[in-house]
Amino acid sequence: MDTPLAPGAALAATTDLTNRQCLTVDQSDRTVPINLRQSGPTPVQMLISTRVRKSPYWHLAHQAGCWRATVYNRMYHPRGYVRPEDGGAMVEYDALVNHVTMWNVAVERQIQVKGPDAEAFVNYVVTRDVTRIQPMNGKYVILCNEAGGILNDPVLLRIAEDEFWFSLSDSDLEQWLCGVNVGLKMNVSIREIDVAPVQIQGPKSLALMEDLVGPAIRDVPYYGLLAARVGGRDVVISQTGFSGEAGYEIYLRDATLYADDMWNAVLEAGAKHNLMVIAPAHHRRIAAGILSWGQDLDQETLPFQCNLGYQVPRKKTADYIGKARLEAVRADLESGGAPYALQLVGIVLGGEPITDYAPDFWLISGEDAGTPIGFVTSPWYSPELGTNIAMGYVPYGMRHEGTRLTVWLPDEYAERAGEPVNAQVVPMPFRASANPSARELARSHGRDTAY
């Protein structure tokens, strides 16, 4: 049976964390603990089969140089175009922050809720007040279960009075929504539709979009929508993105039929803007404090644990799934309680530049480099800040800015093999976004976004 490390024992002296779960991190409030075994890179060949879907853009991504992929929403998802020997993901990062990029994000499946009761239904399954979203606008939202855990954190697009699209993060929401309506019996249809997005991100994104659809794009506000045609095909465009840079998403209708037309039109128009096809830039979204479902949060994470307390409104009178639990947790926090074990924080850390995806949730210790008490979820190197940055979970009492920590990096990134690097809790985002989120705006006005 696994046993915890002795208090104060150096992790460097423990060589079997590759074979067992680290029990010193308090996960007592979870049913399924995060797997904290430090197994490192485990090269395997991905089997491309029909059990996992290929998006309408899969062949186009391959033509653009995609050499590796992951699975997201049961669909193959490109995660690398520039090979390591040619500079890897940091070359893609340079294109994002200096020019303009296109991402194949068809894995953001679109679940349509349509019908006379659409507004009431959607308002019941998300925490925010949907009645305040006007047609042809959207919002970042969360859906919770009755225990308050976050099931999904999609962008919600309101296409019409009676039609909404959930642009999903990495969890299957269609079956959840259908199941909820088995009990509610509201007058809505719930189904995945043949709409697939790409993201256009970077400082030259507006210029490229104007070349594609004309000057009307300049009037689209943050989270606003525009119906247009790209490559002669019908699209919905939103001013949204997963990068913290200026950007848009192009949602192609009938994407299975017309993917080539839209994609090639973007490539042609983008040539003069130095457009580059890249993978989703997790290094930039980390700097912006943007969360990744399944990595930074999941169905056992409360909004308050991952800095999404602003998504739990105080003034929404209508009932929604998870409301009772979330309001009870907020009341506990406001009275000085600690209703959960771990809190997501921003961290700056030493070591060699982290320039690729982490294969494990790297472990965090206190300043004394003793037994692990937390774990890193999303690390990368920030060229602008000149340091490694990360999101990670630490004990609730260690969440405060300035708290000193140590992080156990793999030897390839460690300053000295077998020894941890120094780290410190800092505010998020690490650098400003082109379009500040509600959380960033609240923080800038001195309001606590935890609850």
Q: What is the pLDDT of residues 404-415, one digit of tens each?
A: 999 999 999 999
Q: Please, what is the angle between helix 255-270 and helix 205-213, to 10°?
A: 120
Q: How far apart are CA 379 and CA 391, in angstroms?
A: 6
191-200 pLDDT tens trace: 999 999 999 9
* pLDDT above 90 coverage of the chain, percent: 88
Do residues 381 and 352 make contact, with C-beta atoms less than 8 angstroms apart?
no
pLDDT at 11 over 60: no
Average pLDDT rounded to a whole number, residues 118-125: 98
The one-letter amino acid code at 24 reads T
Nearest Cα neighbor of 418 from 408, 426, 428 is: 408
Average pLDDT over residues 380-401: 97
pLDDT reported for residue 350 = 98
In this prediction the pTM is: 0.93
Greatest Cα pair distance in the chain: 65
Distance CA 395, CA 24 (A): 11
- Do the Cβ atoms of 376 and 271 come closer than 8 Å? no
Task: Supply the pLDDT for residue 13.
Answer: 42
pLDDT of amino acid 19? 67
> DSSP 3-state assignment of 451?
coil
Which amino acid, 376?
Answer: V
Q: Are 439 and 451 in contact (CB under 8 A)?
A: no
Per the prediction, the chain carries an average pLDDT of 93
| Whether pLDDT at 297 is above 90 | yes
| Residue-level pLDDT at 43 | 86
Q: What percent of the chain has pLDDT over 70?
A: 92
Residue spans of the domains in the chain: they are: 1-39+341-451
User: Using the 8-state DSSP alphabet, how is residue 154 labeled?
Assistant: P
Q: Cα separation of 291 and 293, whole Å?
A: 6
- The CA distance from 241 to 138, in Å, is 12
Over range 418-440, report the average pLDDT.
84
What's the confidence (pLDDT) of residue 2? 46
| Distance from C-alpha of 21 to C-alpha of 36, rounded to nearest angstrom | 6
412 is in an annotated binding site: no
Average pLDDT over residues 433-441: 65
Is the model's pLDDT at 217 over the cut of 50? yes
Is residue 23 predicted with pLDDT exceeding 80?
A: yes
* 1-39+341-451 is a CATH 3.40.640.10 domain: no
Q: What is the DSSP letter of 357?
A: -
